[in-house]
């Protein structure tokens, strides 16, 4: 029973919410972490296939981060060790006993905690467990940070109010509308039932746009469900979606499409890669090259994170090319203090032209990601 997948989960969510509200009044804003730990532990054991593997992963990774990672004293090596189960899963090594639902996002959270860990700070297993397996965000986020999540958890009972419950429920209903109404209509009557006699250019064009709109409403709907439910139980998750179809360039699109993942990749992949490249003497005088290599590595890794199948690798490469071209263009515009591509065109014309070009490039990249063209 994965989050927001069927009626059984919504029954569980209602019980979860009722227990949280009851405990808020019974214990006078105490023991939130213990209560959520208990509910999450039961959820993994009773409703998640190989939930026991998830629990073991949390225990082993916690001990590794707290006691062994500081001795390694190299974030790349220690992060690769934490990444190993997910890598084995992606290359389809038959160790199914290790592969639980949500492994990818849980691994992201474990790596982030490992990189940010400071032995001087308090690091409790119960907080780490709650962070890894926070039920609303278990599958696709939004991605929070360990320190931020722990602080929110410590104040969660205080944040539960009539206003926040109403606001969270409104966001939750928005998610229901997006995922179960709009996305479902697109899936049934546009994406799968739109009839063409043969696979012509118009067939692929229709399929590309249908898939993009389906993916947006399904993904945005899931995110709204997660954020809404989370706010109702006292924790506000990072915001993800912000009108991505109005984006003007690739970085703007990613910030609007999946802000929490974009910020995570920036902090834990792009910046360390760029810092590492700064150590090469031959690249000292080539800042654009360093930025573009770091951009390429970040988006290529993002593609591989989805899997090592062709469509995921190709889509990562396409996003990387888009972003490198834009980065080179933007830097040269700043250097020359003029728009080297659009010249003296009206700003409004440039704005709408950029939106049109970006959305069409994005449609192509997302369609490659879907694998429907194979």
Domain end position, chosen among 237, 267, 284: 237
Residue-level pLDDT at 100: 84
pLDDT in tens, 85-98: 888 877 777 777 77
Distances (CA, A) of 79 to 88, 149, 269, 308: 14, 20, 11, 19
Query: Tokens 């209903």 label which residue?
Result: 173
Domain end position, chosen among 200, 217, 237: 237
Give the separation between CA 166 and CA 232, rounded to whole angstroms: 8
Q: Is the pTM of this model over 0.75?
A: yes
pLDDT in tens, 52-79: 999 999 999 999 999 888 888 777 888 8
Question: Are residues 175 and 310 located together in one domain of the fold?
Answer: no
Residue-level pLDDT at 195: 58
Residue-level pLDDT at 212: 92
Residue-level pLDDT at 321: 93
Give the separation between CA 130 and CA 40, rounded to whole angstroms: 7
Residue-level pLDDT at 130: 95
pLDDT in tens, 315-356: 989 999 999 999 999 998 888 888 888 888 888 888 899 999
| pLDDT (average), residues 288-307 | 88
Domain count, the chain: 3
Average pLDDT, the chain: 88
DSSP string, 292-336: HHHHHHHHHHHHHHH-SSHHHHHHHHHHHHHHHHHHHHHHHHHHH
29 within some domain: yes
1 within some domain: no
Helix H or strand E encompassing 229:
helix 201-232
2 within some domain: no
Tell me 177's DSSP state: I
Q: Which of 277, 313, 314 is nearest to 292 (CA)?
A: 277
pLDDT in tens, 112-125: 999 988 877 889 99
Confidence category of residue 129, pLDDT binned at 50, 70, 90: very high
Confidence category of residue 225, pLDDT binned at 50, 70, 90: very high
Question: Are residues 18 and 130 located together in one domain of the fold?
Answer: yes
Question: Are residues 343 and 327 located together in one domain of the fold?
Answer: yes
Structure tokens at 95: 């160790």
Domain end position, chosen among 157, 190, 205: 157
pLDDT in tens, 141-158: 788 899 999 999 999 998
Q: Tell me the Ramachandran region of residue 334: left when phi exceeds 0, alpha when psi lies from -120 to 50, beta otherwise.
A: alpha
Question: Are residues 81 and 35 located together in one domain of the fold?
Answer: yes
What residue numbers bound the domain in which 38 lies?
A: 7-157
Question: Are residues 177 and 150 located together in one domain of the fold?
Answer: no
Q: Which of 199, 177, 180, 198 is nearest to 188 (CA)?
A: 180
Between vectors from CA 204 to CA 202 and to CA 207, what angle results, nearest 5°? Answer: 105
């Amino acid at each position: 029973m994965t989050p927001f997948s069927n009626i059984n989960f919504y029954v569980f969510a209602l019980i979860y919410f009722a227990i949280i509200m009851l405990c808020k009044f019974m214990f006078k804003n105490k023991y939130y972490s213990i209560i959520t730990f208990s509910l999450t532990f039961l959820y993994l054991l009773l409703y998640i296939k190989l939930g026991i593997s998830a629990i073991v992963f949390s225990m082993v990774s916690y001990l590794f981060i707290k006691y062994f990672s500081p001795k390694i004293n190299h974030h790349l090596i220690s992060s690769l060790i934490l990444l190993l189960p997910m890598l084995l899963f992606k290359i389809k090594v038959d160790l199914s006993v290790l592969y639980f639902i949500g492994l990818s996002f849980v691994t992201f959270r474990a790596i982030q905690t490992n990189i940010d860990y400071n032995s001087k700070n308090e690091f409790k297993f119960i907080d780490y467990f709650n962070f890894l397996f926070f039920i609303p965000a278990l599958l696709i986020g939004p991605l929070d940070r360990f320190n931020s999540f722990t602080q929110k958890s410590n104040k969660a009972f205080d944040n539960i109010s009539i206003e926040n419950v109403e606001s969270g429920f409104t966001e939750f209903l928005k998610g229901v509308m997006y995922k179960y109404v709009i996305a479902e209509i697109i899936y049934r009557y546009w994406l799968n039932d739109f009839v063409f006699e043969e696979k012509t250019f118009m067939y692929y064009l229709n399929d590309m746009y249908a898939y993009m709109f389906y993916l947006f409403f399904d993904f945005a709907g899931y995110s709204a469900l997660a954020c809404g439910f989370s706010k109702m139980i006292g924790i506000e998750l990072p915001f993800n979606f912000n009108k991505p179809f109005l984006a003007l360039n690739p970085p703007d699109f990613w910030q609007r499409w999946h802000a929490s993942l974009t910020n995570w990749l920036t902090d834990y992949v792009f910046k360390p890669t760029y810092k590492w490249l700064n150590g090469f003497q031959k690249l000292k005088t080539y800042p654009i090259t360093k930025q573009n290599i770091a951009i390429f590595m970040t988006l290529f890794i993002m593609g591989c994170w989805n899997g090592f199948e062709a469509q995921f690798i190709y889509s990562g490469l396409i996003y990387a090319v888009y972003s490198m071209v834009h980065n080179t263009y933007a830097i040269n515009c700043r250097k020359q203090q003029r728009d080297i591509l659009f010249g003296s065109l009206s700003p409004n014309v440039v704005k709408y032209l950029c939106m049109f070009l970006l959305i069409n490039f994005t449609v192509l990249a997302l369609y490659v990601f879907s694998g429907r063209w194979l």
